[in-house]
Structures are given as structure tokens and as C-alpha cells.
A = this chain, B = another copy of it.
Amino acid sequence: MEQMKVVLNDDEMPTQWYNIQADLPTPMSPPLHPGTGQPVGPDDLAPIFPMNLIEQEVSQQRWIDIPEEVLAKYLIWRPTPLCRARNFEKLLDAPVKIYYKNEGYSPAGSHKPNTAIPQAYYNKISGIKRIATETGAGQWGSALSMACQMFGLECRVFMVKVSYEQKPYRRLMMKTWGAECIASPSTLTEAGRQVLAEHPDSPGSLGIAISEAVEDAVTHDNSRYSLGSVLNHVLMHQTIIGLEAKKQLEKLGVYPDVVLGCAGGGSNLGGIALPFVCDKIHGKNVTTIAAEPTSCPTLTRGPFAYDFGDLAKKTPLLPMYTLGHDYVPAPIHAGGLRYHGMAPIISHLVKEGLMEARAYNQLDTFDAGVKWARSEGFIPAPETNHVIAAVVEEARRAKEEGKEKVILFNWSGHGLVDLAAYDAFFEGKLLPYELPEEEIQRALKATNGFPRP
């Protein structure tokens, strides 16, 4: 019988997160205060995040211990299996071995709880009573709702209105886990009311929802804000994925040629790839690839610039690839990839040539996702379909080159609450969405960023 997967026992789960800041050949640029233009200090961030998370955000320490209480919650579903996609390999008929981490096994159905749980924990032990956050398609909002429930915190989620209406199951998950889910823009915040005054029918955007959540957090007692991607500490929490995968591949005596993840804010990609980028920095021959949508091609076409994380310019200025903080991406079903910016860590790695990026259009991603579902069974999230499209491309290249290749990717989540998107695909109602060149020119102007070489 052929081996299909590698599982780890509870006591084999990594007990530390990996912080790539300790290994970067060139340091990252710091976030800047939007008022002064100076690097932000811990005190600037204190109204938004608890101090223990701020310390993690700026830490240069290579390994950070995962607290016992967080490990105990991780163990509800972690370590996730490392699976071999033998049926998909047969379908592709290429000289590749494809391994994937199934992060859809978490209770929320994605990788998001890997950071939701420690974030809720660190807020809890800091004496915080409630957390506000935003969510696009709802993966992050549902994960944080669950984590807050587990640690006895109140949770308010501002959900982008168009998703709030299109994805009722996601907000029902939040309700089941005891959180409050608000359609954004809302009348609960100044930021929301401003948008509604100008655009009463606004479908919302992640940028608006972040503004609302930050404002909500700083205007309520004992409240803080929580972000599900982009920031350094978030990517660090996600490295549990890649660290597990490494252990599992070691058991097979295998090392990957290529490591891939889809990229919206960059957290699931960072989670699987950063431990391998570490090896690359230390001389190992491994390629890491970000798969993003052509409708929101931040890494492949956006300028590198200091830009805001949100529409209302409430966040620090982050050094990243960006399409401009006021950019509203096309309504692709991969809501988790509709973000104008990108994690500074991922942006830095791409800029320094330590990571590659490719973009895929919506139709190709669903085509890849359906092929996956019909061979491997599991129905992927629309976001995950992007990395599957990249795997298909890698396999095709390997075949053309006649070169054997070991592929590892992060199967970031299942699509069981996104099935309407599959229906639209089968009915021929999906658009590919390629970004016109003038949008890139607009982004360059808006961000005052550096044009791409």
C-alpha cells in the first residue's frame, strides 16, 4: 500500500514559532508614524495592540516559545497531516511529487486559527476584555470569534458588506461562536458613517472595515484591535505550518524543490514558506512562490512603497508592495486575497529576490480547484484555488523540462461555505479579471512608490 500522508503525534508538534527577522540578510524598513514620518515605537501602537504582541512584532529573536495554553488549543486539531496528492499527480501526469498541508482541518476550516488563538491568548493575559477586528470573506472573523470564545473574550467583527450579504454561513459561524458580526460600512463608527454619507450603497472593502475596527477598539474600554494577516507577528504564528511540514518531510527523507502558498495579506504563504526561506538564506536550493489573483496583483505588478493598511489612514505606513490604500479590487470570490497591500515580510523577500510571485486569473483558479476536488476529494476555498493553479503550472513546467520535482504547498482552507462561487463557475458566470495597466499607473501615483524594474 502506498503511503498517502505523514501524521505527527501531539508530542511531536513544534513548541516554538520561527521569526525570520533574525535571519534576514538585509533588515526590513520600519513602519512609519503617519503624522511624524518617523519610525513608530511601541507606545504608538499600545492603544491598538497589547504590549506582548507589540514585542513579538519587533522581536529579532529567532525562536519564540509557544505558550502552554496556546499549545493546548492548537492540539485540538494540530499537527495537521502532510498529505501526498497521488490522485492529483496522476491527473497531471507530470514527473512531480506533490505534498500539501491540509489546514482545512481546523474548526474554522482554514489556517486562520493558528494566529487567532495566540492573539486572543495574549490579549487575555494582558487584561483585555474585548477585541474588534475586520473580515473580508469571513475566514478571519470566524477564526477570531472561535478563539475569543475559547478564552472568554468578547469579539466584534466588521465584515465587508458585500460578503456579509453573500456569505451568510460565515457570519452564522461567528454567531455560533458567540461573536457579534456587523456589516461594514456601519453607523457604529465615524469612519463608517463618513463612507455611508458619501456612498449610502457602498459594498464595503477591507480598507474601510479595518478603519472601523481600529476606531472601535480605541474608543472602547479594555478593547484592542486584532489583524489576521500582514503583520510580522501574524506570519510568525503561522510558521507552525511550515515547521510541521519540515518535520514530516524529514520523516520521508524528502526536501522540496518548490514551496507555494496563495497570497492575500501573506500569512498562510509566510506560514508554510518562511522556514524554507530560512534554509534558502543559509544556502539551500529551494524556490518559494506566492500565488496571487490577476485582479489584485500586488506582488507581481504593484509598486513598492510606504502605504497605509486602511482607507482612513489610521494605521502606520508599512513598507510593502501595494496597489494603493484606496484601491478596491474586483469582486472575485477569493475574498481573502482582495487586499491592496502585502505583508512587509513577504514584500521584503520578493524585493530581495528570496521569493517569487505569480498571478492567476479567476477562471484558471477555479478550473484547477475543480480538478483538485474531483481527484483528491476535498473542495478548496477560492483562495486556495490560486495556489493549486500555481501547482498545476509547476507540474506543467516540470513535464516540459523533463525534470523531477518535489512540490510542497499550503492547502489553506476548504470551500464548503463558498460553494456559491463554484456554482457561478459552472454556470459560466465568473469573470477572469485582469488588472488594466492604467490601474498600475494610478497606484504608482497614489503611493508615490517605486516603479517595478
Instruction: Say yes or no: is A83 at the interface (Cβ < 8 Å to chain B).
Output: yes
Instruction: Say yes or no: is A150 at the interface (Cβ < 8 Å to chain B).
Output: yes
Known contacts A4-B72, A72-B1, A417-B417; A175/B422 CB under 8 A: yes
Q: Which residues of B contact A83 (CB under 8 A)?
A: 76
Instruction: Say yes or no: is A284 at the interface (Cβ < 8 Å to chain B).
Output: no
Q: Give A4's nearest chain B residue, CB to CB.
A: B75
Q: CA A3 – CA B13 in complex, angstroms? A: 11
Mind listing 12 A-B residue pairs with CB under 8 Å?
A: A1-B11, A3-B11, A5-B10, A72-B86, A76-B83, A76-B377, A106-B377, A150-B375, A150-B377, A168-B420, A172-B420, A416-B416
Q: CA A5 – CA B374 in complex, angstroms? A: 30
Q: CA A373 – CA B71 in complex, angstroms? A: 19
Taking a contact as CB atoms under 8 Å apart, the answer to whether B172 and A423 are in contact is: yes
Beta-carbon contacts under 8 Å, A148-192 to B: 149-150, 168-169, 172-173, 175-178
Taking a contact as CB atoms under 8 Å apart, the answer to whether B173 and A379 are in contact is: yes
Instruction: Say yes or no: is A271 at the interface (Cβ < 8 Å to chain B).
Output: no
Taking a contact as CB atoms under 8 Å apart, the answer to whether B76 and A4 are in contact is: yes
> In the complex, how many angstroms separate the beta carbon of A440 from the nearest chain B beta carbon?
34
Taking a contact as CB atoms under 8 Å apart, the answer to whether B7 and A9 are in contact is: yes
How many copies the complex holds: the figure is 2
Known contacts A7-B8, A7-B9; A426/B378 CB under 8 A: no
Instruction: Say yes or no: is A376 at the interface (Cβ < 8 Å to chain B).
Output: yes
Q: Interface size for chain A: under 10, 10 to 19, 20 to 34, or 35 or more residues?
A: 35 or more
Q: Which residues of B contact A6 (CB under 8 A)?
A: 9
Q: Give A12's nearest chain B residue, CB to CB.
A: B7
Residues of A near any B CB (own CB < 8 A): 1-11, 68, 71-72, 75-77, 83, 86-87, 105-109, 113, 146, 149-150, 168-169, 172-173, 175-178, 370, 373-379, 416-417, 419-420, 422-423, 426
> In the complex, how many angstroms separate the beta carbon of A159 from the nearest chain B beta carbon?
15
A416: which of B169, B177, B373, B378 is its contact (CB, 8 Å)? B169
Known contacts A146-B377, A178-B374; A172/B422 CB under 8 A: yes
Q: Which residues of B contact A149 (CB under 8 A)?
A: 374
> In the complex, how many angstroms separate the beta carbon of A438 from the nearest chain B beta carbon?
36
Q: CA A160 – CA B176 in complex, angstroms? A: 27
Known contacts A72-B1, A107-B379, A150-B377; A176/B8 CB under 8 A: no
Q: CA A9 – CA B6 in complex, angstroms? A: 7
Q: CA A4 – CA B75 in complex, angstroms? A: 6
Taking a contact as CB atoms under 8 Å apart, the answer to whether A105 and B107 are in contact is: no
Taking a contact as CB atoms under 8 Å apart, the answer to whether B5 and A75 are in contact is: yes
Q: Which residues of B contact A1 (CB under 8 A)?
A: 10-11, 68, 71-72, 75
> In the complex, how many angstroms separate the beta carbon of A128 from the nearest chain B beta carbon?
19
Known contacts A1-B71, A169-B416, A416-B417; A376/B76 CB under 8 A: yes
In the complex, besides A176-B379, A178-B374, 12 extra interface pairs with C-beta distance below 8 angstroms are A1-B11, A4-B10, A76-B378, A106-B377, A107-B378, A108-B377, A113-B377, A168-B420, A169-B169, A169-B417, A169-B420, A177-B374
